[in-house]
Amino acid sequence: MDHSTPSKISSLRQAMRQHGVTACLIPSADPHLSEYLPGHWEARAWISGFTGSAGTLVVTQDHAGLWTDSRYFAQAAQQLAGSGIELMKQRVAHAPEHIQWLREHLQTGQTLAVAGDSLALATARQLERMLEAPGAALRTDLDLPGQIWTDRPAPPTAPVVEHPLHYAIQPRSDKLGRLRTAMRKQDATHHLLSSLDDIAWLTNLRGSDVECNPVFLAHLLVQAEGHATLFVGRGKLNDALVAALAADGVRIADYTTVTDALSELRSPDRLLLDASRVVVSVAAAIPAGVRVIEATNPSTLFKARKSAAELDHIREAMRRDGAALVRAFRRLEERVTAGMRQTELDVDSLLREERSAQPNFVGESFSTIAGYQANGALPHYRATPEAHSALKAQGLLLVDSGGQYLGGTTDITRVLALGETTTEQRRDATLVMKGMIALSRARFPKGASGPQLDALARAPLWASGMDYGHGTGHGVGYFLNVHEGPHGIRPPVSGAALVALEPGMITSIEPGLYKPGRHGIRHENLAAVIEADRSEFGEFYAFETLTLCPFDRRALEPGLLNPEERAWLDDYHATVRAALAPLLEDADLAWLERHCAPL
């Protein structure tokens, strides 16, 4: 059987003709609208061959286009070559987004099909409004990719486990109590959650159904007065866990019966849900007489604001993670200097080996990005056994990695100078560092949002006529997803809600610069929002840098840093040295001392 992308596109078009479908939209999504997907729902990647985490495929009888953003332009161009699928660049001037493209190409009486278990309720409404102009129709009852995917992986069946209360801090009964208080304020009798990190946080449970994200497939229906029902594969929970959940008023039902439970709601029931986090195929079961209250899941903000006890655990996870990175980077540096053959894949192995030796390490928080020289210019590059570069004692190596610990989630990027570097490389790395320091030192008033701060990190690059295409910061979970909302630091988007940064929120600070074919720079720390001071103008907040690992100053041009910037970097390295030195000895300690010496 021909398993090539052109063959799969041909089979999909045949299925479309059989059902009278003009266009098929295949998003990167599952029934929980996750960022990273279990294999069962990776239809877009299976058909197109493009493996990036973000992308939307649109197929008609005479055109196939893959929309993705600037993080993946180079990767997509490479993986789509010869497939018959055109790369359609997102957020590029004068280039249509996929919804606009569909509006321009669909006509009266034609049909767009999207699998209802991979489409948010809010997105479906947006598509329906778009289709009104040309007079086309939307069908969500057809999973056309699923019809041709004969060797589709089964849904995951990994066990669900308790997150120990020592680390979870707050009992699930208390978390559910907070949620019910929020529900009553919104006059909701029931609340449906499908987002996996919300469910894992509320229930103090963790799993491994999604690679690198300690979550499990489930829906949760909470009554404001009564019990909660967790819809999950029964075989995933042992009897002791089922009993513990029952003691906290959480019943277990089969994963597939969530629509049955929703269909039993009746007026005057009032159901709270987030239309951007619930799929059409689930929402379709809600009876017409039930009032639906649409709002962000209250738990999204609850879990974003880490408690003092959670932050203490996170600081310890950062110490352990930093010590592991020092050991790995020291070993890598010695091997490269000695002329041993090392590749980007060895970087991944070294990091995994050292992190695995740390207490309470569970796994990686995402697939390691180790990009040497030109590969560093691909923001989401991933070395594979089939395609990777050998390291040499020269140039720059960008390493973006993270770990999942019982007491926190880490995400860090460092740029290592493996030997001689160019003036351009050092200048670029220093300009990015200036932006990182500016944002890390920021003071901002209560109520300020990430988009208001984003320019601080870009200003040094803008002054030299340069920029980067990704956001500057994303929220990070607590032994949960490495990317979480509702906050973020990114350029303003027209019409987008501004989420205020609040004490306890954790964000990455990661400006970058990418020059295709030459090199890529990204410096990244995680930071917590903290209270700074109060004046006649109100309360002001600041960032506490959490990540603990030296920057490679050999990649920098210190003369481009002003006195305040040099002082920040020296103070940071003094903090790193004090935190990590007790965990290191011999050659590792000497490496730390050398890299943390004042400029």
| C-beta separation of 445 from 452 below 8 A | no
Examine the fold and report which residue of 243, 277, 303 is the final residue of a domain before the chain moves on: 303
The parent domain of residue 134 ranges over 5-148
Q: Are residues 129 and 94 in the same domain?
A: yes
- CATH number for the domain including 271? 3.40.350.10
Q: Are residues 296 and 324 in the same domain?
A: no
DSSP letter at 390?
B
| C-beta separation of 382 from 291 below 8 A | no
| C-beta separation of 379 from 470 below 8 A | yes
Instruction: Quick: pLDDT tens for 213-252.
Output: 999 999 999 999 999 999 999 899 999 999 999 999 999 9
What is the Cβ-side half-sphere exposure of residue 78, based on CA atoms within 13 angstroms?
A: 9
- 153: in domain: no
Q: Are residues 323 and 452 in the same domain?
A: yes
Q: Are residues 167 and 100 in the same domain?
A: no
> Parallel, antiparallel, or unpaired: how do β-strands 512-515 and 538-545 relate?
unpaired
Residue 592: which H helix or E strand, with range? helix 586-595
Decide if pLDDT at 95 tops 90: no
| C-beta separation of 430 from 456 below 8 A | no
Closest CA to 529 of 437, 415, 598, 444: 444
Contacts of 43 (CB under 8 A, 6+ apart): 26, 115, 118, 145, 146, 149
3-state secondary structure of 233: coil
CA distance 425 to 395: 8
- Ranges of beta strands (E only) in 431-548 are 443-445, 473-475, 484-489, 506-509, 512-515, 519-522, 525-535, 538-545
Which phi and psi angles does 337 have, rounded to 5°?
A: -60, -35
Is residue 172 very low, low, confident or very high in pLDDT (cuts 50, 70, 90)? very high
CA distance 316 to 166: 14
Q: Are residues 295 and 441 in the same domain?
A: no
Q: Are residues 135 and 208 in the same domain?
A: no
Instruction: Quick: pLDDT tens for 178-211.
Output: 999 999 999 999 999 999 999 999 999 999 999 9
Distances (CA, A) of 190 to 198, 202, 229, 242, 292: 16, 15, 11, 22, 10
* Helix ranges restricted to H, 398-442: 423-440
Locate tokens 């050659």: which residue?
A: 587
Q: Are residues 234 and 256 in the same domain?
A: yes
Taking the CB of residue 534, how many other CB atoms lie within 10 A of it? 10
Is residue 102 very low, low, confident or very high in pLDDT (cuts 50, 70, 90)? very high
Examine the fold and report which residue of 103, 121, 148 is the final residue of a domain before the chain moves on: 148
Four-CA torsion 270, 496, 176, 359, nearest 10 degrees: 160
Q: Are residues 68 and 169 in the same domain?
A: no
Is residue 2 very low, low, confident or very high in pLDDT (cuts 50, 70, 90)? low
3-state secondary structure of 524: strand
3-state secondary structure of 95: coil
Q: What is the mean pLDDT of the chain?
A: 96
- 154: in domain: no
- 341: in domain: yes
Residue 569: which H helix or E strand, with range? helix 563-580
Instruction: Region of 44 please: left (phi>0), alpha (psi -120 to 50) or beta.
Output: alpha
The count of domains in the chain is 3
Instruction: Quick: pLDDT tens for 395-405.
Output: 999 999 999 99
Instruction: Quick: pLDDT tens for 404-429.
Output: 999 999 999 999 999 999 999 999 99
CA distance 97 to 102: 9
Q: Are residues 278 and 341 in the same domain?
A: no
Greatest alpha-carbon span in the chain: 74
Locate tokens 């990204």: which residue?
A: 522
DSSP letter at 29?
-
- 290: in domain: yes
- 156: in domain: no
CA distance 369 to 522: 11
CA distance 451 to 498: 7
Model pLDDT, residue 93: 79
Q: Are residues 485 and 587 in the same domain?
A: yes
Closest CA to 409 of 479, 348, 353: 479
Is residue 1 very low, low, confident or very high in pLDDT (cuts 50, 70, 90)? very low
- 391: in domain: yes
Taking the CB of residue 496, how many other CB atoms lie within 10 A of it? 11
> Parallel, antiparallel, or unpaired: how do β-strands 270-273 and 506-509 relate?
unpaired
Q: Are residues 387 and 427 in the same domain?
A: yes
- 155: in domain: no
Instruction: Quick: pLDDT tens for 37-77.
Output: 999 999 999 999 999 889 999 999 999 999 998 888 888 99
Please give the structure tokens belonging to residue 545.
Answer: 């840098």
Q: Are residues 543 and 431 in the same domain?
A: yes
Taking the CB of residue 599, how many other CB atoms lie within 10 A of it? 13
Examine the fold and report which residue of 99, 116, 148 is the final residue of a domain before the chain moves on: 148
- 121: in domain: yes
Q: What is the 3-state secondary structure (H, E, C) of 153-207?
A: CCCCCCCCEECCHHHHCCCHHHHHHHHHHHHHHCCCCEEEECCHHHHHHHHCEEC
Model pLDDT, residue 234: 85
Greater model confidence, 73 or 513: 513
Mean pLDDT of 342-361: 97
Distances (CA, A) of 425 to 1, 256, 459, 563, 565: 48, 53, 18, 22, 19
- CATH number for the domain including 563? 3.90.230.10
Is residue 120 very low, low, confident or very high in pLDDT (cuts 50, 70, 90)? very high
Mean pLDDT of 305-332: 98
Instruction: Quick: pLDDT tens for 483-505.
Output: 999 999 999 988 888 999 999 99
